[in-house]
Amino acid sequence: MKLMKTFQVYKHPIYGVETIKVGFSFPAFFFGWIWMFIKKLWGLGCLFLFLQFLIVGFDEMATAALEVGEFGMSFFVLVLYTTVLVTAGNNGNKWWAAALLKRGFTREDTIQASNKDAALALYVNELENRSDS
């Protein structure tokens, strides 16, 4: 039995159809600002890129602190980085959906499917069935 996920279908008269999974975004979690730039979330991508540079700076300070035996800074860096990643994962698909609506897409349907391609196929099949009626 395949695990069914919920997908929202967005449509634009020029740019076509996009399907977005409802819930946690693993690509946003693992790839952060890169994923955001790919999805044209420019402002968020720049913010997360800045945060990444900030975290790298903190990591350098944490490494220096470890040399003198202080572990608090390393824990702070780990918590900060984890918080940034989890925030991206929890909100990535919501941010992407909101950006599509701002670009003129309309939310057409919510579909239960095993994956993104299956959701798109079900949506297209549903449209064909409506036009045949």
Q: Report percent pLDDT > 70 for the chain.
A: 90
What pLDDT does 90 receive?
Answer: 98
Taking residues 118-130, what's their average pLDDT? 89
Residue carrying structure tokens 């950006």: 99
The whole-chain average pLDDT of the chain stands at 89
- The pLDDT tens digits of the residues spanning 4-41 come to 999 999 999 999 999 999 999 999 999 999 999 999 99
Q: What's the mean pLDDT in 64-74?
A: 63
Nearest Cα to Cα of residue 18 among 108, 131, 128, 114: 108
Q: Where are the beta strands (DSSP E) in the chain?
A: 5-12, 16-21, 106-113
Contact at 8 Å (CB) between 72 and 65? yes
